[in-house]
Structure 1
Amino acid sequence: MARNGDGDEEQPQLPPRAASSSSLLRRPDPLLVVCRCFSVLTCLTAILCIGVNVYSAVRSFKDGSDIFDGIFRCYAVLIALFVVLAETEWGFVIKFWKILEYWAGRGMLQIFVAVMTMAFPNYSADETELVLLRNIASYMLLSCGLVYVISGILCIGCLKRARQQKQITRDQAIKDLEELEQRRGELEQLLLAERA
């Protein structure tokens, strides 16, 4: 240990701490951000299809005009709920229905729901709001399904999964680095306390 001019011992200098991991920029991957936004749009569109089909089913059962249309709408609601679950990429759903992991399969399911929502256009002229909602919901979900099918053919889903895995690995590495820095800080405090 070196002595300063007053005869006191100087404390040993600890090496400078590496840049804090909180200062590391956690920039999200632009592809993953776009995929999340598109997934939210698809979920909202599927929920709109659910609403249209529920209203149509209630109308069919209430006036008794077409029981088969009501039953058909109930099936459309169940499959549209499945579309929403698939968009959340919940591990339970993907585990049992592997086809939904692939974007082309997911897109075909969305197109099927869009066609089911559009089917049986036997509404009266006074239900223009329902017809408008049905058309908006069907065409939006059809568009989302087509985007998924085309993206699946172009292997963008595989690219997204690879980038997701890379992001998870990076986040885990940053978390481990933060824990190491926290532990290093605690050890430095213990070392300084013992020398004081």
Structure 2
Amino acid sequence: MPRNGEEDGETVAPLPRVPSGTSTRLRARPDPFLVVCRCFSLLTCLAAILCIAVNVLSAVRSFKNESDIFDGIFRCYAVFIACFVVLAETEWGFVFKFWQLLQYWAGRGMLQIFVAVMTRAFPDYTGEQKDLILLQNISCFLLLACGVVYLVSGVLCIGLLKRARQQKEITREQAVKDLEELEQRREELEQLLIAERV
């Protein structure tokens, strides 16, 4: 029976072995810049959700008080637009298909600033709802800060850099997947080769 690596007097070169830790090593290092962008996106999303909650509470209070009905309608618009801020932060392709401006950080920042201003509008100067006013101020200034950061970053083309790095990460993940498939195929071919030798 021929030895391993020999068949009918001919030497069969063993298939090159890809290091088993290669795919693990490629996946173990996420891009720190993209991690920071995802964390900031999560913070912006939470600030927008907080604005939605504040505007809903303010709208309910306004509709109960008949003299503030216009404030209630204004709050409903603020809730509707804040939902777009949350959707833009998910970076869902469907949203960008119809509202391409939200794909760019400067446009996204302007929308966030607009929602923050709408949330801050018509404060309760009588001081009856101190908790609601405090929550309104926190959500407003937090979203305003996120909007300013997005606007400045968009002007500095950091959003373009993020998209380029995301594309690179997708390409790397595809390369790792292809490498794993090649490794699996190599193992299958080795098993067939061993079975033929036996």
TM-score by length of 1: 0.92
Kindly state the Cα deviation for residue 11 of structure 1 after the two structures are TM-superposed: 1.7
Cα distance in 2 between the residues matched to 1:15 and 1:183: 11
Runs of 4 or more off by more than 4 Å in structure 1? none
- Percent sequence identity over aligned pairs: 72
Please name the residue that 2:151 is paired with.
149
Equivalent of 2:193 in 185, 191, 194: 191
Cα distance in 2 between the residues matched to 1:92 and 1:36: 19
Partners of 1:123 and 1:131 within 8 A in 2: no
* Unaligned residue ranges in structure 1 (runs of 5+): 1-7
Please name the residue that 1:132 is paired with.
134
Please name the residue that 1:46 is paired with.
48
2:165 is aligned with what amino acid?
Answer: R
1:110 is aligned with what amino acid?
Answer: Q
**Match status 1:24 vs 2:25:** yes
Equivalent of 1:67 in 53, 66, 69: 69
Cα distance in 1 between the residues matched to 2:2 and 2:84: 72
**Match status 1:14 vs 2:7:** no
Partners of 1:52 and 1:130 within 8 A in 2: yes
CA RMSD, aligned part only?
Answer: 1.3
Partners of 1:107 and 1:148 within 8 A in 2: yes
Cα distance in 1 between the residues matched to 2:158 and 2:172: 21
What are the residue-to-residue correspondences of 1:138-177 with 2, within 5 Å?
138-177=140-179
Cα distance in 1 between the residues matched to 2:162 and 2:130: 40
Kindly state the Cα deviation for residue 127 of structure 1 after the two structures are TM-superposed: 1.2
Indicate how the Cα distance of structure 1 residues 122 and 23 shifts in structure 2: closer, same or farther if over 3 A, else same.
Answer: closer
* Unaligned residue ranges in structure 2 (runs of 5+): 6-12
Kindly state the Cα deviation for residue 124 of structure 1 after the two structures are TM-superposed: 3.4
Cα distance in 1 between the residues matched to 2:89 and 2:135: 22
Please name the residue that 1:81 is paired with.
83
Cα distance in 2 between the residues matched to 1:45 and 1:99: 20
Please name the residue that 1:3 is paired with.
none
Partners of 2:2 and 2:197 within 8 A in 1: no
Kindly state the Cα deviation for residue 95 of structure 1 after the two structures are TM-superposed: 1.1
1:66 aligns to what SS in structure 2?
Answer: helix
Please name the residue that 1:97 is paired with.
99
Kindly state the Cα deviation for residue 38 of structure 1 after the two structures are TM-superposed: 0.3
Kindly state the Cα deviation for residue 67 of structure 1 after the two structures are TM-superposed: 0.4
Partners of 1:60 and 1:67 within 8 A in 2: yes
Kindly state the Cα deviation for residue 14 of structure 1 after the two structures are TM-superposed: 2.4
Cα distance in 2 between the residues matched to 1:163 and 1:9: 51
Cα distance in 1 between the residues matched to 2:132 and 2:126: 10
**Match status 1:181 vs 2:174:** no
Please name the residue that 1:5 is paired with.
none
1:52-72 CA-to-partner distances (Å, cap 9, x unmatched) read 000000011122231000000
